[in-house]
Structure 1
Amino acid sequence: MLVGEGMMRHWGLTSWRRADPAQAQIPASRVAQVGSDGSVRKDGAITPDGHIVNTSYTVNSPHPPAMDAPGQRGQLVPELDAPTIGDRLSERGVSWKWYAGGWDAALAGRADDTFQFHHQAFAFFRRYADGTEGRRLHLADETAFLSDLHAHPLPAVSFIKPLGVDNEHPGYASLLTGQAHVASLVSALQQSPEWRSTAVIITYDENGGRYDHVPPPAGDRWGPGVRVPAIIVSPLARRHLVDHTRYETVSILRLIERRWGLEALGERDEKANDLTAAFAFD
């Protein structure tokens, strides 16, 4: 992980996406069946112990139009009620938004071919369902990020999920296109009054399949996994630093929780290192 002019050596991938079967009232027809040898006996949107399969879609919009066909809607994941980092921020009166590339077009039924319906994390939750105040206030198209930046001020916390064509994913996206897209967003921030108090954290959900000679540390079923790229761009980042602290995806959550005194979402983020060693806060 790069920080200013320094480097952080260990950033592991964490996967954490849970549904509560009892709470969500998920019918047995949606739950996968796995044999004692680990083989899949019946496919399903939810694992036997209640975890959402990566390519599942929410019952809320947007989801692929084909999922509204007869017999398909029953495969959609019901609205979830578990707390999110957005809820924690709202409880403290801290402003935040999730900006997604292609969001408006997907809601209008004109989704780009590379729009990832299953990556719209907050859309899975009841508080951000269709027609809710939570959705109106907190879920927006990525183009609104620049509009909000120019209107000043930005929300205290912003999440940006680029459109698939800009996400550098192997197989269908270009590395250069994705990096140029991120660079344009960072450049816009650097030229704004927001910059002096901003920290940008850029990271990925996989390592691209390349070999890593460093084995993941012992953890639990969710990681840490293989090391993935992560970059902090900020005037507050420490320079000329080699940080050997172990970080992971939920370290971002832990940093947000520590900054605003939020209750942790679970044991995993509560125990994660919080990235403060990478910053020179006054």
Structure 2
Amino acid sequence: MDKGIGRRRRRSRRLIGAGALASAAALAIVTGSAASTADAQALHTLPASWLPTLTPIKHVVVIFGENISFDHYFGTYPNATNQDGTPFKAARNTPKVNGLDKKLLTNNPNAYDPKRLSPGQALTCDQNHSYGAEQAAFNGGKMDKFVEKTETDKCTGQPILFGEPGLVMDYYDGNTVTGLWNYAQNYAMSDNSYNTTFGPSSPGALNLISGQTGGAQALTSVTHQPTTDSYAVVSPDKNGIGTVINDPDPAYDDCSDKNHTATENLASMQGKNIGDMLNQRHVTWGWFQGGFKPTGTQNGFAVCGAQHNNVGGIPVVDYSPHHEPFQYYKSTSNPKHLPPTSVQAIGQTDQANHQYDMTDFDASLKAGSMPAVSFLKAPAYEDAHAANSDPLDEQQFVVSEINKIQQSPEWRSTAIVLAYDDSDGWYDHQKSTIINGSKDAAQDQSVCTGTSTKLGTTADRCGYGPRLPLQVISPYSKVNFVDHTRTDQTSVLQFVEDNWFTGRVGGSSFDSRAGGLWNMFNFWWPQAGKLPLDPKTGAVVKNGHH
């Protein structure tokens, strides 16, 4: 057993508690003791509430959003202007966050001062959030080159999107991201959580499930032959194994490469991820993503053609393959996007192989069989990614799903984690501590080359990157609490590992260095209640009224 897990087990000696197991036979199977094949198969029918866990949490739901820096959403928390949008008033005892103080708002070291974005400016240009550009914006820790290095203030082809010089510096407040501010008021949030490495969506998603972006191989689109492609995989070794720092589509997905109608190369990941580890422990789990359900077939490949209009009326294809990290690993992929064999099988190992459409999560929740570990990814128009999504559409998705979970019996043993894959390049004033450097002269800035590479020998894994929002919503959350523990995306991975006794990913995974989520909880007794919100406005619903 990992020493860290052992220490936490001793510190939390009473948390597992009596009644966690249905029987001694089930315990023997779960902990790896000898058991019959029949017993092992029967275990797959056990509800998540019967499986042994380190804490009272029997269900973890990770809602993984897109492309938001901490200051972009919470820079002025808990103070909102209340001049438009949904009014927000902070509780008197609300703790302060490390946000945008008066000096940063009025005399910022960047070329422009931050400005408030209104609800009417929810749809904006997408910023430059590439691996090298984000490092350059840090400017050696001075945090003063965002306008020059990551700003995109003019949007081509989408006149409805808001853009102006200095846009990268701008932020929303509780009149727009009202739901998230209300969750912060009533549960726990962090103001010291970071992107595990610099860069865009795919690295962030991979870090969430494995703490690894190294161990990648570039493959051709249809034949899956090894190839050399510096976009799909950078810094390859003599065996063609390198690192993902961009957004190549996953190798094991029919909907990759524009449903295999293009010729872009794909990425395949080696090693194991948290899905493999949960399978070894017979723990139910799933990744649920909007648009995963195919709309048809073409040339023998599944086609993911579902789309919706965002708040601005712009049509957006729901499914984005490079947001689905388990499809990079052959062991946890569902290339044909096959459906689960039944609602009861959701979370089990069947033809869907734990990869599902968002509608499958709602079905399992309604049936009372929500998996122990669930990762939720909104359809692209609701995932918060600038240009295709926005805070208002994101709120509709997040609040709707949390409302459903809180109305279910599973809520009393659930922890919902709101996390993000990257910062989109949006300004955040807090420089990160670089715990892992990189020596790639073509990609890395001095902020990374000046720090030693400690997590393996693979290049292009410089981190921590920009600061991101992180919230924990649970009956066991501390209430109206701001945690200052330094965490990153792999802190979520680490919590799942520890809670279900999987051990660490190993190798050079960042999970071995992650700060814990533990300070955001109080496991001695549940103290946070339900908080029904209006998905459209984010306002608290009280006695059926807003």
Q: Same fold (TM over 0.5)?
A: yes
Per-residue deviation, residues 185-221 of structure 1 (Å, max 9, x unmatched): 0000000001000000011122344322211112213
Per-residue deviation, residues 8-42 of structure 1 (Å, max 9, x unmatched): 220111144233449x9973x4232xxxxxxxxxx
Structure 2 contact 418–470 (Cα < 8 Å) conserved: yes
Counterpart position of 1:56 = 248
Structure 1 contact 65–109 (Cα < 8 Å) conserved: no
RMSD: 2.8
1:88 aligned onto 2:277: yes
Structure 2 contact 249–267 (Cα < 8 Å) conserved: yes
Match of 1:19 among 193, 200, 215: 215
Structure 1 contact 3–237 (Cα < 8 Å) conserved: no
1:62 and 1:106, CA in 2 relative to 1: closer, same or farther beyond 3 A?
Answer: farther
1:53 and 1:194, CA in 2 relative to 1: closer, same or farther beyond 3 A?
Answer: same
1:218 aligned onto 2:442: no
Match of 1:109 among 303, 311, 314: 303
Structure 1 contact 4–232 (Cα < 8 Å) conserved: no
Counterpart position of 1:164 = 380
1:76 aligned onto 2:280: no
2-structure distance, mates of 1:31, 1:230: 34
Amino acid corresponding to residue 68 of structure 1 in structure 2: H
Question: How much has 1:101 moved relative to structure 2?
Answer: 0.6
1:84 and 1:3, CA in 2 relative to 1: closer, same or farther beyond 3 A?
Answer: farther
Aligned residue for 1:262, secondary structure, equals coil
Aligned residue for 2:471, secondary structure, equals strand
1-structure distance, mates of 2:366, 2:259: 38
Question: How much has 1:123 moved relative to structure 2?
Answer: 1.2
Match of 1:124 among 307, 311, 328: 328
Counterpart position of 1:31 = 229
Match of 2:514 among 245, 255, 272: 272
Question: How much has 1:250 moved relative to structure 2?
Answer: 0.6
Amino acid corresponding to residue 234 of structure 2 in structure 1: T
Structure 1 contact 58–77 (Cα < 8 Å) conserved: yes
- Give the TM-score of the pair, scaled to structure 2: 0.45
Per-residue deviation, residues 53-103 of structure 1 (Å, max 9, x unmatched): 532123322334656358x27x2334x441010011111111101101100
2-structure distance, mates of 1:134, 1:19: 27
1-structure distance, mates of 2:188, 2:250: 40
Structure 1 contact 258–274 (Cα < 8 Å) conserved: no
The farther-off stretch of 129-138 and 259-268 is 129-138
Between the aligned residues of both structures, percent identity stands at 29
Match of 1:100 among 284, 289, 293: 289
| Structure number with higher relative contact order (C-alpha < 8 Å, ≥ 6 residues apart) | 1
Aligned residue for 2:293, secondary structure, equals helix
1:248 and 1:199, CA in 2 relative to 1: closer, same or farther beyond 3 A?
Answer: same
Per-residue deviation, residues 138-193 of structure 1 (Å, max 9, x unmatched): 11100111100011121100001111101111112121011121100000000000
Counterpart position of 1:37 = none
Amino acid corresponding to residue 45 of structure 1 in structure 2: A
The 5 A counterparts of 1:118-267 are 118-127=322-331, 128-130=333-335, 136-220=352-436, 221-266=461-506, 267=509
Counterpart position of 1:36 = none
1:250 and 1:97, CA in 2 relative to 1: closer, same or farther beyond 3 A?
Answer: same
Question: How much has 1:136 moved relative to structure 2?
Answer: 1.6
Aligned length: 267
Structure 2 contact 290–318 (Cα < 8 Å) conserved: no
Structure 2 contact 255–304 (Cα < 8 Å) conserved: no
1-structure distance, mates of 2:273, 2:383: 23
Question: How much has 1:3 moved relative to structure 2?
Answer: 7.6
1-structure distance, mates of 2:363, 2:251: 29
Structure 1 contact 31–48 (Cα < 8 Å) conserved: no
Structure 1 contact 3–278 (Cα < 8 Å) conserved: no
